[in-house]
Structure 1
Amino acid sequence: MSLSRLKRIESYSSPILLVIFVQLFLLFASVPTSVFAQARPKKATLITLWVPQAQFAGYYVAIDKGIYLKHGIDLKILRSGAGYNTFQTLKNGQADFAVLWLVTALKERSAGSKLVNISQTVQRSSMMLISKKTSGINRLEDMKGKKIGLWEGDLAIPARTLFTKYGINFREVRQSQTVNLFLRGGIDVASAMWYNEYHVVLNSGIDADQLNTIFLDKLGMKFPEDGIYTMEKTLKSDPELVDEFAKASLEGWRYAFDHPDEALDIVMKYMHRDEVPANRSHQRWMLLRIKDLMMTNGEPGRFGILQKDDYDAVCKVMFREGLIKHYTEYSNFFKGTHAGK
């Protein structure tokens, strides 16, 4: 090919390349920066009600399996447990999301804090009152005048409400995080969660047929417990983050229930990391009971949904007992959009 012909080709191609370059530059310049930002996960924080355990397996599984990252979230679970106030951590902006009981959320909402429920995980109360058959306590009425262990704070609300409803006067004893006082005979009746303290008592050497148990929800105390909450201002400022967090969390729970052994491995890892005493058999029991409490007849029909009837019922009870001064409409409180799916 002659030199003159090469020069002619070059003279034609240079303007074409320049035009292509300018068009590409204008194309990328017109793309919103949010598109590129999506490649960078948003940092977010969650605080649970207690130390790592299978009660919160879904969140730890969602971190370990990359589910939060898949939904564009770089999540950190903050330390919790004795000495930590879960709601205050959320309110003060130290956490973006928190696991709270419904009774706590309603109290704080009534007091002026604008928090919202984005997913109701535990659908019903798992609280029990347990006594030894040798105590002669066979029914609720037998608890009159007895020493009954109650936890401090909002965890005692369902039991106190029950006793008020049935006119039971009793001797209240502050119950710690262990069941030692009950095992040693220091109290006649202990508060227990079905997924936790009840199993601890069974593991202590007391057989189930040596105990009398009363489930509070069987006596009308239908108080849903663990739910995922955020502040209203967080929902308004970044609805996408809130939406994706709720979706990822429920996905983490589904994975945990479908892969229980792997979920237990993950939970145990975090328990060891935080130097929490870990018993795999107990954590397995906890995971299975939490599944029972989150699912309805084994199906995800109510999965993640705060039922309006449950919300209204708890609001009315707490209002009647003077625990809250007012309550908002259900639609203002529950903001879950992907629950049940």
Structure 2
Amino acid sequence: MTKFALALLIGATAAGAAAANTPVTFGTNWLAQAEHGGFYQAVADGTYAACGLDVTIQPGGPQVNNRALMLAGKIDFNMGGSLLEQFSAVQEGIPVVAVAASFQKEPQVILTHPGKAKNFEDLKNLKLYLGDAGYASYYQWMINAFGFTPEQRQVYTFNPAPFIADPESGMQGYLSSEPLMVEKEGGFKPDVWLLADQGYSSYSTLIETMADTIATKPEVVSCFVDGSIKGWYSYLYGDNSAANAMIKKDNPDMTDEQIAFGIEQMKAAGIVDSGEALETGIGTMTDAHIKDFFDKMVAAGVVPADLEYTKAYTLEFVNKGVGMDLKK
């Protein structure tokens, strides 16, 4: 074989391999940030491509509903929030299924002024700035489990100024965002109460897809889940510079400081890699864990007791220890 013919053969083989990669679009639930880092990592370092997927990440945002696009068949996977979204889909008869839990802990927090509360129950002595979604979900659990009251709730307009000005108040937030924002705008470091550490046991940042995708393209689902899990290990414990560059390209307002803070908080609190994930890998979900959260939501009056909640998820693609060798 001549060198020219060999070159043509190699080129054709490479082109064929590239053509064989399946196009996949993954929609996130907000603007690009460190909390999406594992997915960007798997694109940046070729992990998805190595499994035969050509993945495009489609950022969410205030005017973007990526779940609706998935329901319409425009994207393949979506970044869900907590298990309550999955339960709601079952209640509404929408065939959306969670296939992995990127976060073992929901990053929802309550912020208080330094020293104002010695323990979580002390928050019952404060007014609490909460949005409507939070009031209808985790605050109903706080009322049921700890005796918080509806009267404590103040409407949160996503402006931290009222909280910053009032030491006798608390404010909802996201572990890797609002604490830094308050520190910069208010000039003090708030105390942070992670609801997951108080028993609010929802998984979060779920990977979800349509039931039909699982039935007809299980190999694509498996590759995407495995690639995402490996991406999270590499992002948290390896060189994440290329992924962070992609994040900043998709979200020009994102800063290195905010990314570093997000990673630090996720690692310190065990948001991604803790609990059962230490044994069976990032992405882990279990029947017992989901039932525990479901029972708490039933007791709080958030979901009906007769909901067939097991339709909301599958364990087919997780709990296999994928990527654990990448943890350094």
* Pairwise same-fold verdict (TM > 0.5): yes
Residue 289 in structure 1 maps to residue 260 in structure 2: no
CA distance in 2, matches of 1:274, 1:218: 30
> What stretches of structure 1 of length at least 5 have no aligned partner?
1-35
The structure-2 alpha-carbon separation of the partners of 1:274 and 1:62, relative to structure 1 and needing over 3 Å to count, comes to same
Counterpart of 1:191?
172
TM-score for the superposition, normalised by structure 1: 0.77
Residue 129 in structure 1 maps to residue 110 in structure 2: yes
Counterpart of 2:43?
63
Selected match of 1:118 from 99, 107, 112? 99
> What stretches of structure 2 of length at least 5 have no aligned partner?
1-15, 323-328
CA distance in 2, matches of 1:57, 1:47: 13
SS at match of 2:24: strand
CA distance in 2, matches of 1:88, 1:184: 39
SS at match of 1:75: strand
Moved more, 224-233 or 328-337: 328-337
Q: Supply the RMSD in Å over aligned alpha carbons.
A: 3.0
The structure-2 alpha-carbon separation of the partners of 1:171 and 1:177, relative to structure 1 and needing over 3 Å to count, comes to same
Question: How far did 1:331 drift?
Answer: 9.4
Residue 249 in structure 1 maps to residue 231 in structure 2: no
Identity across the alignment (%)? 18
Question: How far did 1:265 drift?
Answer: 4.7
Residue 278 in structure 1 maps to residue 257 in structure 2: no
Selected match of 2:204 from 205, 214, 225? 225
Selected match of 1:263 from 240, 243, 247? 240
Moved more, 231-240 or 103-112: 103-112
Question: How far did 1:158 drift?
Answer: 1.9
The structure-2 alpha-carbon separation of the partners of 1:82 and 1:132, relative to structure 1 and needing over 3 Å to count, comes to same
Counterpart of 2:28?
48
Q: Kindly report which structure 2 residues correspond to 1:1-341, keeping only aligned pairs within 5 A, or say none.
A: 39-100=19-80, 101-133=82-114, 136-144=116-124, 146-153=126-133, 157-169=137-149, 170-177=151-158, 179-185=160-166, 188-204=169-185, 206-208=187-189, 211-259=190-238, 262-275=239-252, 277-291=253-267, 292-296=270-274, 299=278, 301-325=280-304, 326-329=307-310, 333-337=314-318, 339-341=320-322
CA distance in 1, matches of 2:26, 2:168: 36
CA distance in 2, matches of 1:179, 1:340: 41
CA distance in 1, matches of 2:251, 2:105: 29
Question: How far did 1:241 drift?
Answer: 0.8
- Greater Cα radius of gyration, structure 1 or 2: 1
Count of residues paired in the alignment: 300
In 2, are the aligned partners of 1:116 and 1:334 still within 8 Å (CA)?
Answer: no
TM-score for the superposition, normalised by structure 2: 0.79
In 2, are the aligned partners of 1:146 and 1:189 still within 8 Å (CA)?
Answer: yes
